[in-house]
Amino acid sequence: ALALATAAAKVGMHVFYLNLEGVDSIRDTLAPTSGSMSDVLLAMKTKGMKADIKLAASAAKEPNGGFYYLSGVESISEYDEISGEEIGHLVGTVRDLAEHDLLILDLDAGFSVKTQKILECADVIFVPVVSNTASVAKVRRFLRESELHSLYDGLQSKMRLVVNHASPKGVGEEIQSSGLLTQMPCSAMIAVSPIFTKWKALLRAGDTMLPVMQPLLQAVKES
């Protein structure tokens, strides 16, 4: 997600990156913003406070990556108090600012009502998968669930596989034999690279990330 934000900013797009993981994995990568998601959520719940104004005042531009972002919640426990509707409202608030060409939402690997509300707002959903048993099984489980429940109607049609840690030989045996490629379009294969283990360095690697992320940027434009 950070690589895509950096690459999109590199081609001149006005990008907003929002981390919505239950445990914010990039908290130590991006500098703290003047306000946080906690402040914006409080504004949403408080009569008379305008969440869009608070969001615009709180966001910051990453000096190397070139995208805008907002620090996550102050405490992990705050996510337990946020409903799916409130998360959907938060995403809508960012979109309604109409100042950004691209909104990138970084989510947990799991699935919940909150995740569902977020994905319903999305134009395209990238699904990173590694060619191993556990990763493939999770994606297949979701696809089976989507066939059983109308709750997930419309989500699968927006999903695009991204094969992560791809080998020079291709997508890998686990993915190839799983049938996933017949159920979901594959937007990109991303090879193993040391740069993905050093996120602060990644923010300065726009030129390197651009050709790698180009297929994803194309999928975004087509959506």
SS (H, E, C) 71-95: ECCCCHHHHHHCCHHHHHHHHHHHH
pLDDT band at 98 (very low <50, low <70, confident <90, very high): low
pLDDT band at 170 (very low <50, low <70, confident <90, very high): confident
**pLDDT score of 17 more than 90:** yes
**pLDDT score of 91 more than 80:** yes
φ/ψ of 66, rounded to 5, equals 85, 5
**pLDDT score of 25 more than 90:** no
What letter represents residue 116's amino acid? Answer: Q
* Mean pLDDT to the nearest integer, 136-148: 84
On whether the CB atoms of residues 133 and 174 are closer than 8 A, the answer is yes
Distance of alpha carbon 208 from alpha carbon 223, whole angstroms? 24
Of 20-29, 125-134, 149-158, where does the model show the most confidence?
125-134
pLDDT, mean over the chain: 87
**pLDDT score of 182 more than 80:** yes
Can you give the pLDDT at residue 196?
83
φ/ψ of 55, rounded to 5, equals -65, -45
Which pLDDT tens digit goes with each residue over 41-68?
Answer: 888 888 777 888 888 899 999 999 999 9
**pLDDT score of 87 more than 70:** yes
* Mean pLDDT to the nearest integer, 66-95: 84
